[in-house]
A and B are shown apart, each in its own frame.
Chain A
Amino acid sequence: MQITLQQFAFAAIALLVLGSAVMVVTLKNIFHSLLFLALSFLGVAGVYLLLSADFLAAVQVLIYIGAIVVLMMFALMLTHRVMTTNLSQTLGQWWVTSLPVALGILTILFRVFVLYPWGVKAPVGAAPTTGIIGRTLLTKYVLPFELASIVLLVAMVGAIVLAKEDKLDDSA
């Protein structure tokens, strides 16, 4: 089997994604694992590019790396003394519980994915997706679109209410 350039790129990106994901869950220093999480998100953006999903790749970089990782960094700075790295971050007996669960789910997923006949259609060439996504969001999926904005608004208000300091108890 001839390995094409595309397949080589996929292998490299998959190695990046999985390697940095393993670092995310195993590293002792939680700040370093957060940086590896950003690297893993970047690799997933590369996977989107290979799937010719240009809009999603850009959104992945903007939302995950630009917003979620930075948000987590803020939370980490607020709750954790970054300099103290020798705090135990993981469960002591992780190989008893976590490893069998993860490996079992991996086996089940692999069996389903490999054995099921998916009926793959002939692929179309790469084309810009942004316009079609926007049109679909504002015609067919306009109700979920509006609901998603309400979810974001409620989450924002909830986050502010939860995170703000409770001054009412002192005055009362």
Chain B
Amino acid sequence: MIPLEWYLGLSAALFSIGIFGVFSRRNAIGILMGIELMLNAANINLVAFGRFLHPTMLTGHVFAVFVMTVAAAEAAVGLAIIIAAYRNVGHINVDKISVMRW
């Protein structure tokens, strides 16, 4: 039997790695990757809590499905914004994209 704390520790580590990715990447797609890692960590937490605290109701699963939906929408819109920015600026280095209009 795997204790709940193991899952929580795994998701905390995954979340911190995602935070690190978001803060240290220059490439906008790299930042999106960090956000996806953080969403996955949150999903692990939801499912683990659902399994250990309310084993018969699958509310955690349902919530994780909603998080996945929002993650898919976020990835689609985020990548579209990145492509639009690339078309206008010529690169996707977030340090250099600093103008509000051009």
On A, residues with C-beta under 8 Å from B are 4, 6-7, 10, 14, 17-18, 21-22, 24-25, 30, 33-34, 37, 40-41, 44, 47-48, 50-53, 55-56, 59-60, 63-64, 67-68, 71-72, 74-76, 78-80, 88-91, 94, 97-99, 101-103, 105-106, 109-110, 113-114, 118-124, 129, 132-133, 136-137, 141, 144, 148, 151-152, 154-156, 158-160, 162-163, 165
* Residue of B whose beta carbon sits closest to that of A124: B55
Q: A118-B52, A120-B53, A136-B58 are in contact. List 5 more A-B contacts (CB 8 A).
A: A51-B51, A56-B61, A71-B79, A105-B16, A120-B3
A120 near B23: Cβ-Cβ < 8 Å: no
- What DSSP secondary structure best describes chain B's contact surface? helix
- What DSSP secondary structure best describes chain A's contact surface? helix
B20 near A75: Cβ-Cβ < 8 Å: no
Query: Counting CB contacts under 8 A, is B97 at the interface?
Result: no
